[in-house]
Chain A
């Protein structure tokens, strides 16, 4: 990695953090509707994993998708415009927070039915195998998704057909407000991969460099034809499940304890300790990230609403065929 790459990871994490802090404010002002699930605290997970994908590798995730979109190269402008429901949003204002996507960046969404995108991920990989592409599909989901049938059907199919999928479980300890131990018969989620004869690993998701290292190895093993693998990432969301979560299921002490392991702080210290960047350089990077987010907010607010006739666009590619 060259210095620019290190700083770019830092930049992406700060953009995600700042973009979501601004989104929370805009939500409270009533400018963002529906649900808003913040990724704050989990930035190192998608930043680390997606930093080692090749352009042909596909990414698909659940509804906590703002960070993944940014890491995949969707601009902060298009993300913010989508949150505001504008015509310039990456899904043209039809999808909202939970349904970001940009297939030109090989980012296949933002899916809001828990676990339903896992079989779709298997299909993306099947498409690549069928067409002799050496691409890997990276499918991210929460701990809660590992208890639904879709998860088991998708993992089974991926192994039976030797599909090139990296299954990434972001274990942030709670499925909405229900702790993993209260919802999963096997609280050590990575063990579920054993049921499907799948190679697995676990990693500290608060440390972007560790995530990156493990993901790089797994993705290349999968690309070499080794079949699907399963990665459990230990992480924590600093905010509620979505806006308006009363957080009765955890204590402020627990949250404070995890906040000491802030993924941006850990990486900040890493860059300083390894003499990769100076404090001034990091502060400059933060200012640039903040400016990009502010520009995105200005862009989104100034963007047009979808036209009324857009209501009927894209129900079908063609009414008759």
Chain B
């Protein structure tokens, strides 16, 4: 296995799928000549050509809408929305069209569509460019929402998403592109809708995903030095949500902390905690604790921004509070 960055893993998945299936193509802002604003598609335009690596106008509703149309007639578009903050201007096409057409027309319309986008704070981009609104999109039945936290999962889940016949919102994290990890070579897929234990432990269950997996694993390292063994469950897919590994873990540890980068109110932590209470209440020895972004629009100032985002020390403290 090669050690790749998240960027390389995602790029490899896209490249391999485009080589494998001529129906797969990319469209989005600056995906072609520029090579992708996060350099994920660098080299694609020269290799695959302008028909399969399509630069679009700054026109998110048209990007997602046209990708839906192309998917309906049998193609497998990978539409890129430069950041998830711009997905709001394509909101109707994501949640009102992509998520509903298969159901609303009685199953006759099929949309093998991937919308790749990038979320997350921590880069001093200010309030409108730093959001983690994953839970908003996970609210809608009909859409699949995937947010990998390791390079291997990024590759495997993206390949699975491209082969999937349902619309998938694939959320990458802006500060994870340099993260390195072992990535299986060649035809490697990870099923959508499967959570995974990323670290085993007996004392407390941490449930998390995406960038917060990295933060949680660092917290687990720190806690291990104090002889606290944390089990870390990575959701990987927010919808459909696979609670089985979470519940199994909680039944073993009897304590849970949910760590997410988005705001706490109405968030992923709220959903996961509610499910734990509904399905494993009798196993709990302490209330479920949530670690999340504080409830402010993210500020530009670096110190203030970091104060708002969940840190390793916040996770360590939350784990100690449920012990």
The smallest beta-carbon distance between B96 and chain A, in angstroms, is: 6
B316 contacts chain A at the CB level, 8 A cutoff? no
Of A58, A91, A150, A318, the contact of B108 (CB 8 Å cutoff): A91
Bound CA–CA A121/B192 (angstroms): 29
Hey, which bits of chain B sit against chain A, CB under 8 A? Answer: 25, 51, 54, 56-57, 59, 61-62, 64-75, 77, 92-93, 96-97, 101-110, 141-142, 144, 160, 163-166, 191-194, 240
* Nearest 10 CB-CB pairings of A with B: A123-B69, A119-B65, A92-B106, A127-B73, A123-B66, A153-B62, A317-B165, A321-B164, A314-B107, A124-B69
Check if A131 sits within 8 Å of B165, measured CB to CB: no
Question: What residue of chain A has the Cβ atom nearest to residue B111's Cβ?
Answer: A317
Hey, which bits of chain A sit against chain B, CB under 8 A? Answer: 58, 89-95, 99, 101-104, 108-111, 113, 116, 118-128, 130-131, 149-150, 153-154, 156-157, 160-161, 313-321
Question: What residue of chain B has the Cβ atom nearest to residue A130's Cβ?
Answer: B75
Bound CA–CA A111/B68 (angstroms): 13
A-B CB pair tally, cutoff 8 Å: 158
Question: What residue of chain A has the Cβ atom nearest to residue B240's Cβ?
Answer: A319
Chain A positions within 8 Å of B25 at CB level = 130
Of B57, B68, B106, B163, the contact of A314 (CB 8 Å cutoff): B106
Chain B positions within 8 Å of A91 at CB level = 104-106, 108
Bound CA–CA A319/B93 (angstroms): 21
Bound CA–CA A110/B106 (angstroms): 13
Bound CA–CA A89/B54 (angstroms): 38
Of B68, B102, B166, the contact of A123 (CB 8 Å cutoff): B68
Check if A127 sits within 8 Å of B70, measured CB to CB: yes
Check if A317 sits within 8 Å of B110, measured CB to CB: yes
* Given A113-B97, A316-B142, A320-B240, 17 extra CB contacts under 8 A: A91-B104, A99-B104, A101-B108, A110-B105, A119-B93, A120-B72, A120-B93, A130-B25, A157-B57, A161-B54, A315-B103, A316-B102, A317-B110, A318-B164, A321-B163, A321-B166, A321-B193
Chain B positions within 8 Å of A122 at CB level = 62, 65-66, 69
- The interface centre, meaning the residue of B64, B66, B107, B194 with most chain A CB atoms within 10 A of its CB, is B66
The smallest beta-carbon distance between A62 and chain B, in angstroms, is: 13
Given contacts A157-B62, A319-B193, A321-B165, contact A123 B71 (CB under 8 A): yes
Chain B positions within 8 Å of A111 at CB level = 97
Chain B positions within 8 Å of A58 at CB level = 73
Check if A124 sits within 8 Å of B72, measured CB to CB: yes
Question: What residue of chain A has the Cβ atom nearest to residue B106's Cβ?
Answer: A92
Given contacts A113-B92, A319-B240, contact A103 B108 (CB under 8 A): yes
Question: What residue of chain B has the Cβ atom nearest to residue A133's Cβ?
Answer: B73
Check if B72 sits within 8 Å of A316, measured CB to CB: no
- The interface centre, meaning the residue of B70, B74, B101, B193 with most chain A CB atoms within 10 A of its CB, is B70
Of B74, B166, B240, the contact of A317 (CB 8 Å cutoff): B166
Question: What residue of chain A has the Cβ atom nearest to residue B69's Cβ?
Answer: A123
Bound CA–CA A125/B62 (angstroms): 13
Given contacts A116-B93, A120-B69, A124-B73, contact A318 B165 (CB under 8 A): yes
Question: What residue of chain A has the Cβ atom nearest to residue B71's Cβ?
Answer: A123
Chain B positions within 8 Å of A150 at CB level = 61-62, 65, 92
Given contacts A157-B56, A315-B142, A321-B166, contact A103 B65 (CB under 8 A): no
- The interface centre, meaning the residue of B25, B102, B107 with most chain A CB atoms within 10 A of its CB, is B107
Bound CA–CA A128/B73 (angstroms): 8
